[in-house]
Structure formats: C-alpha cells, structure tokens
Structure 1
Amino acid sequence: MPETTEIVYRDDANLGVEEAVDLYRRSTLGERRPVDRPDTFADMLRHANLTVTAWRGDRLVGISRSLTDFSYVAYLADLAVDAECQRQGIGRRLVEETRRRLGPRCMIVLLAAPKAAEYYARIGFEHHPRAWVLRGADDARSVPEPIQPSRSRP
C-alpha cells in the first residue's frame, strides 16, 4: 500500500461490520476476535464508547476500540493496524488520539497479545503483572454453566 497518501484519524466514522471485520483480518487481530460471528462483532462495535479509526483515502487501515468512563480509566479493547501499514506509526498515533479524547488524567489499560508486548512498552505503556481474566462461554476454554439463583422460600 503506498505510504504517500495521508492518514486521517476520526472518531465519528460510521463503521460497518464488514469493513471492520476486513481490517481485523488484515491486522491478524481477527485471530483473537469473533470475526466469524457478525452479531457479536456488531455488538462489540456498537457498545464501545470510544472508537478512533485511521483511514488512507476511503480504506480503513487502523482502529482503536475502547470502553471508558472518560475520567479515570479506559480499557483499550482493540488496537488493530492493517499488516501492510504497520511500522508507519499508525498504532502509536491511534493510542495518542485515543488519549487526547480521554484527557490527560484518564488511565489506559489493555491486555496485550504475546507478540505485541514489546510494542506497548516502546510506546509508553508500563507492564503490570497482575491482570486477571474471567473468560466468557464463547471462549475455546469455556467456563462451567452458571449456577441458577435459588428460589426464595415462602
């Protein structure tokens, strides 16, 4: 992909599910996201309350998708850049644009894919050794069925 076209960063894009899924697949993040479940993927996009996108012309080349209270903490759920556009500063800029929209006091936390751990350190994130994950039932390592609440006795 030519590097001469300017990258435009937006937080107002009306992002289509197919367009986003295509980017996730081109970025390898699709290996760890439900790209084969369009309803779930649509919900991921719809319920994120801060999404910053990167565009080269009319082509989506990057996304930062976060869940936040806009004051104390933001969970950076996804940072994806088209594999052909990596190492051009797009991921770093997506994080900067996300932080700018959150304000200087809001902390950003994330879970990094093993291959991305060194990248996050290079762009200013600090490693935190205490993170815990309670996986959902759709995960390959599924969890037991939930316990049904007991009924109140009369």
Structure 2
Amino acid sequence: MISSLRCLPAAFALALVGTAGLVPTAEARVKNPVAEFAGIDKITGRIFNFDVYMDETVQFGSLQVTPRVCYTSEEGEEPKTDSFVEVDEITLDRKIRRVFSGWMFAESPGLNAVEHAVFDVWLKDCKNASDVPAPSGN
C-alpha cells in the first residue's frame, strides 16, 4: 500500500504532462491605435465610416464616440475584433449624457451597437493606421 502511494506523485505528474497539449491557451490579442466605426443617420439614411484614435473623441451627429482600447486577434487566428467604447449624447439643452459604455464586437455588430433615436454607431475594425492625421502628442 505504501509503495503504491509513493508512485502517486509521479503518476500525477505524468498525467499533467500528458494533458498539457489539451489545455486551451489564451488567445493573443493585438492592441491597435485606431478604431474604425460606421454610423447611420436615420433621417437621411446615409451611412458614414469614421476612424477614431484611442482616447480621442469624434462627434457623429449628437453623439460623441470615444474608444478606450481596440483589440484584434493575431494574424492566422480566427478573426476577433473588439473595442471598449464610451458614447455620450449631447442633449438639446447642451448637457452630456452617457448612452453607452461597454464592449463592441465587429463580428457581431448588432450585439452591442449604439441604437439611438436618430443615429446608430457600430464597430467595423481596429487598425494600425488611418488616413486621418493623428492627434498632436501621439
């Protein structure tokens, strides 16, 4: 009985080594400096695409869009693009009201898009560069 207990740690170690390849690893995420959004003006029916640098704010209609972080999966991995975004509305009496704060997913634009009475905004992509000039200080 005692001799079989001495073998137990070795057997446990072998079992762990044997299953090491089966343990899922965390997917590597690439941090990007630019988030690409699309927005629709429901009055005119026009769709606009716009780029926003991290921690910068762009106004789309009465909405102010501020991405805080934007991740993509590494090349060769299943495409996954997500961004933590804050969206504020400028009301008619010039007050700022937070209408969205959370994660948007480019592969599922309807999941966490901003749905406003006049304007909708959703994440399209995260990018390394933009045609829009970078804000000063970046």
If the length of structure 1 is used for normalisation, what is the TM-score? Answer: 0.27
Which structure has more RCO (C-alpha within 8 Å, separation ≥ 6)? 2
Which protein shows a greater Rg? 2
Task: Specify which structure has the higher proportion of helix.
Answer: 1
